[in-house]
């Protein structure tokens, strides 16, 4: 463990100084593409500005025979594209794979100035982050980069979940966490074969009706309520990230056709505290952008509370409900998120601008 005084020291001579705070850049959708897939790659430049994050995936879902083409494809796209406000991320191959060393060496030295975040799969503990941290510092120094590349860990093993707090605090580069529901389910020996999302077998059932003698009729028709398989893990991620000032993301929803359940799963994550999710197919981008942007009604309510609370202390009644110092803080989360999103999304800006500072909708 590094002593606190050295935590923010660069890990290589000539590497840029680590950031003290991780910027809250909008990242509602992290859109995955396979840079070795010519059709997908060709669409990337047109997607700039329509999605918060474009991520060149080098790991799972890229065929082993295409690993080198994917790496080179990402270098070519990064060099030839002006990303404007859109962030460029990559998911490198696993740390025990034969490709990862060249992934990092090539990407950082050739296009490190374009790369915002490196997503590391199957992170097990702080030792994995320490390895990437030092290597990135060496490569940044070699490439003469002036801005540190951030690191995002995917939770895909039971050990990773057990070590979640130490992973989040392992380096000042840590930007956030995503759920890796497929690998995590396999590692935990869960019995779902889906990539994210719910399962009809994971449910609770309404109590049985009873007759006048109090005998339960267990054969009676009863309502069941499907539960969220991922609630525990997402809740742990939210707390660990908030504690370390970094950002939690849902992850993939593999049933591309089921846009309704996808939206539900994304919304659960948004409500619990996640800032974004992944999109695997272009049609999931609009879902993520909608879900991870506060509604105009929520922003209007939040601004009303802020206006009503004056200096921010005490208690007031609004619409029959008590508001106080703590509910003001909840509302400020919403108001600040709306402000950040309005800076990069003109449509949202217009919608939020129609809400006055007092929460009244004027247009
Ligand atoms: C699902 C697939 C196979 C359906 O691909 P498709 O070609 O069958 O779909 P389509 O509906 O026919 O596609 C329509 C058009 O959109 C294009 N397209 C389609 N997808 C994209 C895309 N992402 N970005 C840009 N363009 C895309 C596609 O090329 C096509 O273009 P066209 O109209 O010119 O013919 C395809 O969308 C895909 O490969 N998506 C990415 C999958 C991926 O990255 N998976 C890895 C992340 S999840 C994961 O790793 C798990 C985790 C975290 O590790 C763990 O839980 O453990
Ligand atoms: Mg995985």
The ipTM, to two decimals, is 0.99
* CA dist list (Å): 53 to 26, 33, 177, 186, 343: 8, 11, 15, 28, 15
What is the pLDDT at residue 103?
A: 99
Quick check: CB of 46 below 6 Å from ligand 1?
no
User: Do residues 160 and 302 both lie within one domain?
Assistant: no
Tokens representing 234 are 């997402």
Residues 349, 284 share a domain: no
The atom of ligand 1 lying closest to the CA of 184 is 57
Residues 76, 107 share a domain:
yes
Name the residue at shortest CA distance from atom 5 of ligand 1. Answer: 281
Cα 44 to averaged position of ligand 1 atoms, centre (Å)? 12
Distance 185 CA to ligand 2 centre (A): 10
Asked if 160 and 38 sit in the same domain, the reply is yes
- pLDDT digits 0-9 by tens, 14-62: 999 999 999 999 999 999 999 999 999 999 999 999 999 999 999 999 9
Per-residue burial over 28-57, b if 16 or more Cβ lie within 10 Å, else e, is: bbbbbbbbbbeebbeebeebeeebbbbbbb
Kindly state whether residues 300 and 284 are assigned to the same domain: no
Looking at the domain assignment, is residue 208 inside a domain?
Answer: no
Half-sphere exposure (CA, 13 Å, Cβ side) for 362? 9
pLDDT of 65-121, one tens digit each?
999 999 999 999 999 999 999 999 999 999 999 999 999 999 999 999 999 999 999
Whether residue 130 is found in the same domain as residue 149: yes
- Same domain flag for 95 and 163: yes
Q: What whole-number distance in Å separates Cα of residue 146 and Cα of residue 114?
A: 11
Residue 242 inside a domain? The answer is yes
Residue 128 counted as domain residue: yes
> Does 280 share its domain with 312?
no
Q: Is 261 a member of any domain?
A: yes
Q: Indicate the top mutation candidate among 281, 285, 288 to test ligand 1's pocket, ranked by most ligand atoms within 8 A of CB.
A: 281
Residue 338 placed within a domain: yes
341 and 247 in a single domain? The answer is no
194 lines ligand 1 (CB under 6 A): no
**Would the CB of 35 count as within 6 Å of ligand 1?**
no
Ligand 1, atom 36, residue with closest C-alpha: 281
* Domain membership flag for residue 218: no
Which of 291, 326, 342 terminates a domain? The answer is 291
Centroid of chain to Cα 187: 21
Point out the domain boundary residue: 291, 306, 340: 291
DSSP H helices, the chain, are 38-47, 67-80, 100-111, 126-143, 158-162, 164-168, 181-188, 231-244, 259-272, 283-291, 296-308, 325-344, 346-353
Q: Is 183 annotated as a binding residue?
A: yes
- Give the count of domains, the chain: 2
Mean model confidence pLDDT for the chain = 97
Q: How far apart are the CA of 108 and the centre of ligand 2, in A?
A: 23
Q: Does the C-beta of 282 come closer than 6 Å to ligand 1?
A: yes
Q: Is the CB of 40 under 6 A from ligand 1?
A: yes
Give the pLDDT of residue 320.
96
Read off the pLDDT of residues 260-301 as tens digits, 9 standing for 90 and up: 999 999 999 999 999 999 999 999 999 999 999 999 999 999
User: What is the reported pLDDT for 363?
Assistant: 60
**Domain span holding position 264:** 4-199+228-291
- Is residue 360 a known part of a binding site? no
Q: Is 264 exposed, middle or buried (0-12, 13-18, 19+ CB in 10 A)?
A: middle
What's the pLDDT score for residue 357?
78
pLDDT tens column, 211-265: 999 999 999 999 999 999 999 999 999 999 999 999 999 999 999 999 999 999 9
Whether 182 lines ligand 1, by a CB cut-off of 6 Å, is: yes
State the pLDDT at residue 355.
87
Residue 362 has pLDDT above 80, yes or no: no
Kindly state whether residues 287 and 300 are assigned to the same domain: no
156 is in an annotated binding site: yes
| 187 pLDDT above the threshold of 90 | yes
The DSSP bridge partners found for residue 156 are none
Q: Ligand 1 centroid to 294 CA: how many Å?
A: 27
Q: What CATH number does the domain containing 101 carry? A: 3.20.20.60
């Amino acid at each position: 463990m590094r002593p606190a005084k050295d935590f923010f020291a660069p890990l290589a001579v000539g590497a840029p100084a680590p950031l003290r705070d991780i910027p809250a850049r909008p990242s509602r959708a992290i859109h995955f593409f396979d840079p070795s897939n010519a059709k997908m790659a060709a669409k990337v430049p047109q997607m700039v500005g329509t999605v918060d994050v474009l991520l060149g995936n080098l790991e799972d879902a890229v065929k082993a025979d295409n690993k080198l083409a994917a790496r080179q494809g990402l270098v070519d796209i990064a060099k030839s594209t002006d990303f404007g406000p859109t962030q460029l991320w990559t998911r490198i191959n696993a740390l025990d794979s034969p490709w990862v060393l060249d992934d990092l060496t090539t990407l950082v030295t050739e296009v490190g100035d374009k790369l915002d975040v490196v997503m590391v799969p199957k992170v097990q503990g702080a030792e994995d982050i320490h390895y990437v941290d030092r290597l990135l510092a060496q490569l940044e120094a070699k490439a003469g980069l002036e801005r540190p590349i951030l690191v995002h860990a995917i939770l895909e093993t039971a050990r990773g979940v057990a070590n979640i707090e130490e992973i989040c605090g392992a380096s000042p580069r840590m930007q956030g966490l995503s759920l890796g529901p497929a690998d995590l389910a396999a590692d935990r020996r869960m019995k779902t074969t889906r990539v994210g999302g719910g399962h009809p077998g994971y449910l609770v059932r309404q109590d049985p009706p009873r007759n006048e003698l109090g005998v339960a009729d267990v054969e009676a028709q009863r309502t069941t309520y499907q539960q969220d398989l991922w609630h525990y893990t997402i809740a742990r991620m939210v707390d660990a990230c908030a504690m370390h000032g970094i950002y939690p993301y849902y992850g993939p929803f593999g049933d591309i056709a089921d846009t309704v359940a996808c939206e539900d799963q994304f919304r659960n994550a948004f409500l619990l505290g996640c800032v974004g999710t992944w999109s695997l197919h272009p049609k999931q981008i609009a879902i993520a952008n909608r879900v991870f942007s506060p509604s105009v009604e929520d922003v209007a309510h939040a601004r009303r509370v802020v206006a009503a609370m004056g200096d921010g202390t005490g208690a007031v009644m609004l619409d029959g409900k008590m508001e106080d110092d703590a509910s003001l803080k909840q509302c400020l989360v919403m108001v600040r998120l709306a402000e950040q999103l309005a800076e990069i999304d003109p449509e949202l800006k217009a919608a939020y601008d129609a809400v006055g500072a007092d929460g009244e909708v004027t247009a």
